[in-house]
Amino acid sequence: MKKGMYLLAVVLIAAMAVGLGGCKHQHDYVVLDEQEPTCVKDGYRKSRCSGCGDVLEETLYALGHDYNIYNVCTRCDDDLASRMTMGLSYEDAEDGCYVSIGTTKVKDVVVPAYSTDGKRVVGVRDEGFFSPDGDVRPNAAAIESVELADGIESIGTRAFYGCTNLKTVRLPRASLKTVGDLAFSGCTALKSLGNTSSGVEIVGKNAFAGCTSLTSLPAFPYLRTVGEYAFTGCTGIENANLGPYTQTLGNGVFADCSALRFASLGSSATIPEDAFQNCTALEDVSLSVSLKEICPSAFSFCNALKSIRFGGSMAEWKAVKKANDWFLTDREPTDYVDFYIYCTDGTLDHNGYEAPAN
Ligand SMILES: [Zn+2]
Ligand SMILES: [Zn+2]
């Protein structure tokens, strides 16, 4: 008994010492203030570690409406039934049904959570609103806005491909998990994706390729996997912050994003081939300590690159496997791009030599 209490005291003192020393310990957060999220509004939680006093502020993302079979929200009575678009087509599947354009001719499409015959809408069908050419599917080509009801979980392959008049999309707030390959590719007028979509974990290949009117990345705070060339040619985006959870990036993910100036790559271990190829305005990139490899041409022709902010030490940066041509430029060898790597314990130049502090 006595020995047990003594051990407990030692553990407590050790924990306090770690806390005072600023080293890592298991924080014991106590909630100070909390605002619950609603269907449409984010909440927050503020807590403090009882050990070290560290304050943690978290966003509790909006829940999205919880529609019943009549398209009325069980929490807030939001009535989607009065606004839903008629004439859409629904294809049955095991888990619910998938929507496509059907006979609809409206410019502003509202996709409900339940079809007219009471089946749950779980996704937008592959090529559901596909508009390869204005003459082939004129009704799809004419669409200017789409609202996807909360409850929808996936957007299929090429779902809105080539909808060149589509300007605004309102994505589900929490339910959407996947944006399919080429889903919004070539939507050259697309400016806004509405609110934060906190459920999205996977963005497919070329999903937003060539969305030249987008000025910011979609707000997907829990994004984990981004397919190859997902944002290639998004020439209006200046800032690409993928959030802390992104682990897998495909080749060329931001290639040819000519206005991109700042990028932050989450906790990705690999910067894939051509990731930032031809991002000629790119100045500043933040990379986490999880980084292990930079692939060929990752930063090809990033002639404006000034700083790479690395979350680890100089030794850890040196241990990152780098392809020979990871920062190829089209300048003369004597006119190297002069960028620095800012590590936690010092600064390196692009060759990996320690740079004088300034
Ligand atoms: Zn703590
Ligand atoms: Zn609601």
Q: What is the pLDDT of residues 279-335, one digit of tens each?
A: 999 999 999 999 999 999 999 989 899 999 999 999 999 999 999 888 876 655 545
As a whole number of angstroms, the distance between CA 185 and CA 141 comes to 13
As a whole number of angstroms, the distance between CA 318 and CA 314 comes to 6
**pLDDT for the residue 1:** 38
**pLDDT for the residue 351:** 81
Sheet holding 108-111, edge to edge: 108-111, 145-148, 168-170
**pLDDT for the residue 104:** 94
Ligand nearest to the CA of 149: 2
pLDDT tens by residue, 51-84: 999 999 999 999 999 999 999 999 999 999 999 9
**pLDDT for the residue 132:** 84
For residue 357, CA distances in Å to 228, 288, 346, 347 come to 38, 22, 8, 7
Tokens linked to 273: 């081939």
The rounded Å distance from CA 56 to ligand 1 centre is 10
Residue type, 183: A
The rounded Å distance from CA 36 to ligand 1 centre is 24
As a whole number of angstroms, the distance between CA 146 and CA 189 comes to 13
The rounded Å distance from CA 12 to ligand 1 centre is 13
Query: What global pTM score does this model have?
Result: 0.89
pLDDT tens by residue, 95-120: 999 999 999 999 999 999 999 999 99
pLDDT tens by residue, 327-347: 876 655 545 567 899 999 999
pLDDT tens by residue, 251-277: 999 999 999 999 999 899 999 999 999
pLDDT tens by residue, 198-242: 999 999 999 999 999 999 999 999 999 999 999 999 999 999 999
HSE (side-chain half, CA atoms, 13 Å) at 159? 23
The rounded Å distance from CA 84 to ligand 2 centre is 15
